[in-house]
Structure 1
Amino acid sequence: MLMKLPRWGFWCECWTESLTEQGPPVLVASFDAYSAPQADRWVAIALETISPALDSDASAEAWEWMYDGRIDTRRALLRAEPCTVSLTHVGTRITWTIRPVLFLPLAHRQGTELPACAHDFTPRPEE
């Protein structure tokens, strides 16, 4: 069996947090990127998608990041530094985080065969 090596990449998350109500932030989405361009593109596509629905201040923040801040984000990612992009829409803060990570391969994730131990399992009869 060929052993896959760990691979460097970026773990990307999008969180929302109410600024008017109590409660923890909520994870909205996550994404595994394998390059700096792929990671910042994930944020850019999200911002382009939601910008028409944002209030004017939040929309301006989004476009400012896409025109100016994205370059700084890409440079930081190329240096393997974590990045955060955040904006506030009405009473909600939306935050994208990008962190450099080492992805560890999972056994048999890409294979079509189950590991040998899977055949040792005997299901319980229905009661």
Structure 2
Amino acid sequence: MTGLPRGYWCECWTQDLTNNSEQPTLHASFDAYSAPQADRWVAVALRTITPALDTAACDEAWAWLYEERADTRRALLRSEPCTVTVMHATTRITWTIRPVLFLPLAHRRGSELPACAYDFKPHATD
């Protein structure tokens, strides 16, 4: 498969660990086209939420930002998936970054949607 753009699929998940049956919840996703762009997405999120985190989680966040971020970037450049996790009280917050090949959408021209996008009608509620 040559010619397909390489990049990274990034996601942010949370899970409340007080309820063992609760499934993780996806909060955000991002398509990054370089390793620096992918780890920057996580870094910006961590810097943004640190004022709201408890002390232990804040320390975990800053440890990754200052000590472990370079390791993450090197792993991404080797096309290895990476995970960054902080624990805030009983909530686990996890960012995942996976190398991917981006497949172009059929009939896509710039920002124009393909014709089939207009075939779907909004779901009507009774």
Task: With the length of structure 1 as denominator, give the TM-score of the two structures.
Answer: 0.84
SS of alignment partner, residue 92 of structure 2: strand
CA RMSD of aligned residues (A): 2.1
Structure 1 pair 113/82, CA: closer, same or farther in 2 (3 Å)? closer
Give the corresponding residue for 2:17: 19
Quick one: structure 1 residues 8 and 18, their matched pair in 2 at CA, closer, same or farther if it must change by over 3 Å? same
What residue identity is the alignment partner of 1:17?
A: Q
Q: 1:6 offset after TM fit, Å? A: 1.8
Matches of 2:114 and 2:53, distance apart in 1: 46
Aligned length: 116
Unaligned 5+ runs, structure 2: 122-126
Post-superposition offset of 1:112 = 3.6
Deviation at 1:23, TM superposition (A): 1.0
Task: Show structure 1 runs of 5+ residues with no match.
Answer: none
CA contact (8 A) 2:106 2:114 kept: no
Hey, what's the Cα distance between the residues in 1 that align with 2:53 and 2:12? 16
* Separation in 2, partners of 1:114, 1:100: 26
What secondary structure sits across from 2:80 in the alignment?
A: coil
Q: Against the structure 1 CA distance between its residues 73 and 14, is the aligned structure 2 distance closer, same or farther, given a 3 Å change threshold?
A: same
Who wins on radius of gyration, i.e. which is larger? 1
What residue identity is the alignment partner of 2:13? Answer: W
Q: Output one character per residue of 1:44-99: Cα deviation in whole Å (capped at 9) or x when no partner.
A: 00000000000000000000000011000000000010000001001100000000
